[in-house]
């Protein structure tokens, strides 16, 4: 659940596919962060605003030593591709 709260886009796919209950996700977030459940929506909005901002940049994928593996990665297309595979 903690990991899904860090990847809300994937969590929402799981919710749409009836694999995950949104209420369970929110309750877990609230308990772990000691927040009211009503604050989850504001958190979710900030997460997707940041995701949208990050999508405006071209990204490079490197190995742990900084060697280029793939350059000019379109993050939005990559994430859409991964989501379409429903890992």
What pLDDT, on the 0 to 100 scale, is given for residue 54? 84
pLDDT at 87 over 70: no
CA nearest to 38, candidates 27, 22, 24: 27
pTM: 0.64
What pLDDT, on the 0 to 100 scale, is given for residue 13? 93
Domain map (residue ranges) of the chain: 1-54, 57-87
In this predicted model, what pLDDT tens digit does every residue of 13-72 receive, in sequence order? Answer: 999 999 999 999 999 999 999 999 999 999 999 999 998 888 888 777 888 998 888 777
Question: How far, in Å, CA of 40 to CA of 5, rounded?
Answer: 10
């Amino acid at each position: 659940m903690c990991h899904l709260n860090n990847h809300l886009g994937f969590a929402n796919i799981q919710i749409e596919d009836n694999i995950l209950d949104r209420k369970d996700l929110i309750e877990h977030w609230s308990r772990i962060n000691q927040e009211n459940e009503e604050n989850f929506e504001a958190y979710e909005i900030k997460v997707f605003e940041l995701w949208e901002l990050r999508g405006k940049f071209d990204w490079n994928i490197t190995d742990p030593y900084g060697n280029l593996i793939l350059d000019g990665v379109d993050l939005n297309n990559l994430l859409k591709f991964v989501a379409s595979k429903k890992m």
